């Protein structure tokens, strides 16, 4: 029957999506670690050349400045990857929970569907979105999804990134300040060291403000 074919096709789409998400999560995890490896390699190379150049100190400053910007660049790249990873992981877990018996609340409607209904009723089967790889349609009600995938900058201060890149930034600024002092002989150059903590604090504050705004919106639109 046509209805049975429609249900089977949606089940095949769901299996396809599940397999893709599983494989792509592994790919994104590898991409995160490779970006960190490349970051530390380029950073050490730039800082090593900058400190190792003989002769005019200003020649080494160019490499030290480049070395200072490297962790900033790769922090953004890594955070972007982390944002995609969070979206895929949220959708992956949603499918697992749905298949294991948890009912799915349809966004924008006062209705829900279970996996058993999805498999037996073609009309109900359309209520659970398939091929929604980034979870934008099916996870729109999840506050944690909005928090982790709505912007890139909050990802810059979570997990390994919080220590890995920000420590590189701080060390780079300290080394650069020491070399600048050799050229300009003024203690004011040490003020650039504060850029690292200020950068981290700015992201932290913006993230907290964003979380509070999202929480307020969730409370406003949640049913009483």
Please report, to the nearest 10 degrees, the dihedral formed by the alpha carbons of residues 152, 154, 156, 159 taken in order. Answer: -120
The label of the residue with tokens 């190379």 reads 45
Are 114 and 101 a contacting pair, CB within 8 Å? yes
Query: What gap in Å lies between CA 218 and CA 113, rounded to an integer?
Result: 22
Question: Which residue intervals of 100-194 are DSSP H helices?
Answer: 115-120, 122-125, 143-149, 161-184
For 85-110, what is each residue's pLDDT tens digit? 988 888 888 888 888 878 877 666 56
Model pTM score? 0.85
Q: Is the pLDDT of residue 224 over 50?
A: no
Q: How many domains does the chain have?
A: 1
Q: What's the number of CA atoms in the CB half-sphere (13 Å) around residue 151?
A: 13
Determine the structural domain holding residue 206 and report its residue range: 2-221
What does the pLDDT average to over 139-154? 81
Query: What gap in Å lies between CA 29 and CA 33, rounded to an integer?
Result: 7
Q: Is the pLDDT of residue 130 over 90?
A: no
Which has more confidence, 132 or 173? 173
Are 203 and 76 a contacting pair, CB within 8 Å? no
For 156-210, what is each residue's pLDDT tens digit? 998 889 899 999 999 999 999 998 888 888 888 889 999 999 999 999 999 999 8
Token pair listed for 178:
């020491």
């Amino acid at each position: 029957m046509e209805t049975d074919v429609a249900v089977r096709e949606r089940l095949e789409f769901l299996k396809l999506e599940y397999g893709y998400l599983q494989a792509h999560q592994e790919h994104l995890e590898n991409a995160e670690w490779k970006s960190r490896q490349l970051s530390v390699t380029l950073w050490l190379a730039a800082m090593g050349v900058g400190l190792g150049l003989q002769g005019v100190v200003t020649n080494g400053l160019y490499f030290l400045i480049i070395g200072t910007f490297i962790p900033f660049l790769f922090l953004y790249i890594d955070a972007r990857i982390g944002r995609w990873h969070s979206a895929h992981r949220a959708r992956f877990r949603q499918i697992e929970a749905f298949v294991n018996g948890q009912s799915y609340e349809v966004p924008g409607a006062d209705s829900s569907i279970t996996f058993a209904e999805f498999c037996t009723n073609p009309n109900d089967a359309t209520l659970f979105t398939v091929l929604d790889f980034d979870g934008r349609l099916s996870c729109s009600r999840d506050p944690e999804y909005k928090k982790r995938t709505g912007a890139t900058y909050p990802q810059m201060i979570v997990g390994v990134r919080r220590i890995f890149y920000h420590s590189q930034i701080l060390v780079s600024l300290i080394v650069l300040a020491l070399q600048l002092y050799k050229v300009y002989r003024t203690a004011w150059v040490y003020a650039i060291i504060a850029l690292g903590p200020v950068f981290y604090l700015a992201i932290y504050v913006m993230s907290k403000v964003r979380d509070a705004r999202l929480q307020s919106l969730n409370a406003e639109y949640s049913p009483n």
